Structure 1
């Protein structure tokens, strides 16, 4: 959630009319290839059921879910356009920042090599998390997380689900607060790539780089603007403006920042699993006055 935005909260865009209400674009979603609960086939079927017309699958540091999704769309003859994507974890000023790549060539050798490095970093972090939980008398967490990942990229979400199953917490928010957040028992500092390295990997594979969910990093308005400026200076192309759940005025404020830093605007549910408040295509629209990423970069849907 954005904090300390009072100075800019009253900003009004020149045209409040939402852009392109149909088809619905959802450009941020996850499958079992990372920490989503649905298979790629289940995800694309659900997207169509929720009237999504264009879907990007953006698993964490992997594109392994894309081929299965494409096959399912063809086999079921779904009226759904799939954008090949990825969500790359990066590090900036000691904050973990996520960069979404849209329209990437999934078999590009540079992207493949880069994602292998990210996978190695992710595995090393998982082992460190498990080691710290073991010292806190919570054994078996690495094996448990790996079993939940089912061969996909291991994330803190898998550790959270393991801890819930062990009765250590009742829900994801509680388990992160008590075990996996910075300074807690099972926290391990990430060793991700830089924002520039993430952007370069996306660009080399023919994609466009999008700053993911800017309002979720717990940054003040001052620091958030520094992040967006840095992202733009390093060659970033767009930023997410619209999500299912946002604080009052957040969408308008993020749209203003997109304008200020000449970035295109994106939207996405960041869907991981069925739940009442985050759903594929739900409440996804862009305020007027911004340029949608699919309009500025129509090639992202042609890979």
Structure 2
């Protein structure tokens, strides 16, 4: 299978990075687990943004289908003024540390939503009813897509593309950055919950190699233990770079599709480059010896 000229590999058994409707994914957690089972994935982590609800909502279905569902989350944070994402794996979702992380991130997102509503109200010269936007989220996280849907439903824009192009995209009034915690705090939350902090898609951060190494060093100092080395649409060069960093810093490697839902590029659960043979897989830390 290939797209954009890049060969990819369907890893049929392990996907440790994907999203459900508990954050910005298109499928409810149960449907995501069902899709994973149909694709032959045996170990799955639903890593929704700033919430472990995907894991909680998917547990029953995973039990029915025999899929090993690992507790997962993807925490937003900052390092050196740059937004970084830290995936947490195999933690205790009921722990005080994880509950504190979810509450802090929820508060940051709520504050952001209020600012977006205020800015859009001013720009469009009409009141944006935040309660209605929250209703579109169905009780899950409110994001810019929900604001876009609200604008579309009320005839304030002709399309979702227009909503983002004029009001919600990068540099537009609704492009509001949340007050995320420092990376070290995000890592500590995961570690204190008994989980494994993983630096997500480090190849996508706009940093020089020297700066990225400094970031990884601070990540490790805070308790970080792994980095994604096989990720969705990562090409072979990026895979090589991330694998080299894993070896240099003696980090375990993680893998995941970052699947959010069906799309025209063909990315699906389990789609990622081959896992590098010379990097220790993160799942070795929780798998029982044969």
By the TM > 0.5 criterion, same fold? yes
Check 1:284–1:51 CA distance in 2 against 1; reply closer, same or farther (3 A cut): farther
| Separation (CA, whole Å) in 1 of partners of 2:134 and 2:59 | 26
1:55 to 22, 44, 56: 44
* Aligned: 1:213 with 2:198: no
SS in 1 for 2:71: strand
Counterpart pick for 2:66 among 63, 76, 79: 79
Match of 1:114 in 2: 101
| Distance change in 2, residues 1:62/1:287 (3 Å) | same
Q: CA RMSD in A?
A: 2.5
Q: 1:215 to 1:156 in 2, by over 3 A?
A: farther
TM-score, normalised by the number of residues in structure 2: 0.85
- Which whole-Å CA distance do the structure 1 matches of 2:218 and 2:45 have between them? 25
Q: Is the 8 A contact 2:236 2:273 kept in 1?
A: no
Larger RCO: 1 or 2 (CA < 8 Å, sep 6+): 1
Q: Give the drift of 1:292.
A: 1.0
Tell me the secondary structure at the aligned position of residue 131 of structure 1. Answer: helix
- Structure 1 segments, 4+ long, off by >3 Å, are 141-145, 156-171, 174-183
Alignment of structure 1 residues 153-168 onto 2, 5 Å: 153-162=141-150, 167=157
- Offset of 1:184 from its aligned partner? 2.7
Residue 126 of structure 1 contacts residue 154 of structure 1 at CA under 8 Å; is this kept in 2?
A: yes
CA distance, structure 2, for counterparts of residue 252 and residue 141 of structure 1: 48
- Shifted more, 217-226 versus 136-145: the winner is 136-145
Aligned length: 276
**Separation of aligned partners in 2, 1:284 and 1:27:** 13
Distance 1:178 1:223, change over 3 A: farther
Structure 1 gap segments, 5+ residues each: 1-17
